[in-house]
A and B are shown apart, each in its own frame.
Chain A
Amino acid sequence: MGSPYFKKAAAVSIALLFNPITALASNETDLLLQQLNQMKQQMQRIQNNYEQQINALEKRLGDLESKQADNTKVVTTPVAPSSTTGTSNTDFQIGLTGLFSAGGSSVDNDALEGLQAGGHDPNKNGFTVQNVELSIAGTVGPYFDAQANLIFLIDREGETVVELEEAFFTTRSLPYGLQLKGGQYFTEFGRQNKQHPHTWAFVDQPVVLSRFFGGDGLRSQGIRASWLMPTDWYSEFYFGMQNPKGETVTSFLNAPDEEIGGHTLINRSTRDLSDLLYSARWLNGIDLSDTVSMNVGLSGLWGPNASGTTTDTRILGADLYLKWQAERSQRGFPFVSWHTEYLDRRYEAGDSDDPTREVLKDRGIFSQALWGFKPGWVAGLRAEYASAKGNTSTDPLRDTRKRLSPNLTWHLNENSKLRLQYNRDWTEHLDEETANSLWFQYEFNLGSHAAHEF
């Protein structure tokens, strides 16, 4: 509709530009001016018309938008802003856990030290402060979580010891199901090694873990990657590298001048990547039914040991965890769980030119069942066996050892518990050969201790 006018206007402008005005007759000029004015008016009308249309459209759009806002308002008006704090307070958690025990044994304190070799085990007649742990955890930002656990201990001389048990970051949202973890942390080997003493189902650490990983469990500085595999069931693969040196890496470069199987350990240093401690774990989780779930894991460790300059240690492990929880359960009760781990160690003792060179072979198993028979109450039974090849009967860390431990735990609430445990020990290295011990344990949690992993 407007186009003929535009054409005329264009023709007029071109005529005005290219034809000298003097060449035009005056009547023609009047005619042209008249036409120009007409066209101006028409243009003005068209513009007004367009503007009106645009305004109308804008108004309709605005109405629609406000209508939509009204729609959402129905949902957002009852929003209680304070209820969002329910999730935000999980961003930073600080908590203190205290774990204490009292009890006694048929053997003396020196003998107990060999029987209760875990650093957080009740290990003397009388009172033990097993573990006071300050835990700080939170989300650093969109990409990282971080956690630090500080341990306070009172040693045999009554001195207070502070340990940096763990301090590490984990990534939150790497693609392809990947996750990285770095810092100082418990190695993901088996199910029990990563657990902190206050989440243990028994007052003490399994014998085989004390033998292979030392009193404090296997932990060191390093980095690990894990991959959540695209399988139909939960399947995760972990691969890690850690420093092999220190008292928390017992089967590897630990404690010069100490002995293992009669071999004196040297101060061996790490030279290249092949001297690091490598760990791998494959963990699978399957729901067998609505009430039964199963975790199956295989783990391996490879690293240098301090009995020579070229000697290596290899530890393999398998773990199985089954849990039944009643279809109708109150506070997670009743339940039955069964946790078993088997570990096997191959330790090259002495370099190839060492006449005393041998390969030390150790193994151990523990199997524990828990029965949560009513809310807050758990009955447990643990059976253990550990042994080594060769004549090891005088070595408290390598003799044939059996232990049976029934216990009863009462969780007063989520933040405190009482536990009574009886240990029956059979050993070769003690004159008594058997030992009977009774331990009473108390635990409290203050603040919001970082929730534990699955």
Chain B
Amino acid sequence: MNSIISIPLGVMLFALSLSVQASIKVVTTTQDLAAIAKAVGGDYISVQSLTPGTRDPHFASAKPSMIRKVYHADLLLVVGADMEIGWLPPLLQSARNARVQPGKTGYLDLSNAAPLLGKMNHPVSRSMGDVHANGNPHYWLDPRNGIRMAMAIANRLEELDPDNSQAYQQQLKAFMDKINNKLPLWKSALAHLAGKPVIAYHNSFIYLADAFGFNIVDEVEPKPGISPSAASLSALVSRIKTDKIGILIMEPYYERRSAQYLNEQTRLRIAVLPQSVGAEDNINNYIELFDAIVAVLKKQ
């Protein structure tokens, strides 16, 4: 009799123990957020990124598989500052998941955790191109913001899963220690760039410049999101010559013809920088992202 009862009881207890161990399902809009979340959440969470680091997160290819991922999510991490404005609102509508709607504990906009640069204090017009009035959304490219983002994620994970709060704090501390140990190394490796004028393809490296002390003085795109024309390129050629600009930094996914043209005209060096975790095969976490960026810039 006892053994008959104990079998279903054992099954129930086993099921219960499984449900206790079941991890928090975190879905992120980019691989950078996924990498930081994984560093902080460790084995207590599962993480999926909606977009790969090889692509421009402004222009995600909207796929129905995203609906399923968001539907099952306990926590949705977004870059915010209009980064996902073209595809996230309809996704949130279709995903029918009340837990991750804006304002809920399951929705975390990390642009609130970092001090944003490039805010517009004047009216914004579409004639200015793709301008983000609320600030430049590429803030993850400053390692100090990585710490801020990790803290915000840890706080939110603790709120959702108080039982493992200690583990989140420990993992957060380990992540912060890693960055704090690396930061001086990265800085000294890029010391030769301090104060130097640099041009970027798109207005997306201002946080990197801020962190490592170089100046982005112009962009290849005449306006954010607007492709360069022959006229805008030739104006840039004369600026590069007069201001003695040595380096162009750009994401891997932009066209290279304009850069090659500028290189031929001015001997401007081209530094193709991975902009995200996952942008290259060997970049699997947030630390490796800066290792890779520093490795490219060190040679310039």
Contacts and interface: CB of A to CB of B under 8 A. Distances in A.
Interface of A: 72, 74-75, 78-80, 82-88, 90, 142, 145, 170-174, 177-179, 228, 233-234, 236, 283, 285-287, 290, 293, 295, 323, 325, 327-332, 335, 374-376, 413-415, 450-454
B186 interface: no
Contacts of A290: 52
Given A83-B134, A87-B80, A330-B253, 18 more contacts: A78-B148, A80-B111, A83-B81, A83-B111, A83-B135, A84-B112, A86-B81, A86-B132, A87-B102, A172-B93, A172-B98, A233-B65, A287-B63, A325-B55, A327-B52, A330-B255, A376-B227, A413-B129
A453 B253 CA distance: 26
A86 B111 contact: yes
Given A86-B134, A90-B89, A172-B101, A332 B151 contact: no
A413 B96 contact: no
Contacts of B67: 228, 234, 236, 285, 454
Nearest to A176: B96
B22 to A, nearest CB: 16
A302 to B, nearest CB: 25
B65 A293 contact: yes
Contacts of B252: 328
Contacts of A233: 65, 68
A334 to B, nearest CB: 10
B184 interface: no
A415 B125 CA distance: 13
A453 B63 contact: no
Contacts of B152: 75
Nearest to A415: B126
Nearest to B121: A82
10 contacts: A82-B119, A86-B80, A228-B96, A233-B68, A327-B55, A329-B61, A332-B61, A374-B255, A454-B62, A454-B66
B267 interface: no
A331 B96 contact: no
Nearest to A229: B68
A293 B155 contact: no
B85 A172 contact: no
B96 A293 contact: no
A451 B85 CA distance: 9
Contacts of A414: 86, 130
A170 B93 contact: yes
Interface string B112-149: 11111001000000100110101100000000000010
Contacts of A83: 80-81, 109, 111-112, 116, 134-135
B93 A80 contact: no
A285 B64 contact: yes
Contacts of B59: 329, 331-332
Nearest 7 CB-CB pairs, A to B? A285-B64, A173-B98, A332-B59, A234-B64, A328-B253, A90-B89, A78-B115
B101 A285 contact: no
B134 A82 contact: yes
Contacts of B225: 331, 413
Contacts of A75: 113, 148, 151-152, 155
A227 to B, nearest CB: 10
B162 interface: no
B255 A234 contact: no
B168 to A, nearest CB: 12
A452 B111 contact: no
A234 B72 CA distance: 11
A145 B93 contact: yes
Residue from B68, B101, B225 having most chain A Cβ neighbours under 10 A? B68
B64 A283 contact: yes
Given A83-B135, A234-B68, A413-B225, A329 B115 contact: no
Given A171-B96, A233-B68, A323 B61 contact: yes
Contact of B86 (A286, A327, A413, A451): A451
Contacts of A72: 155
B254 interface: yes
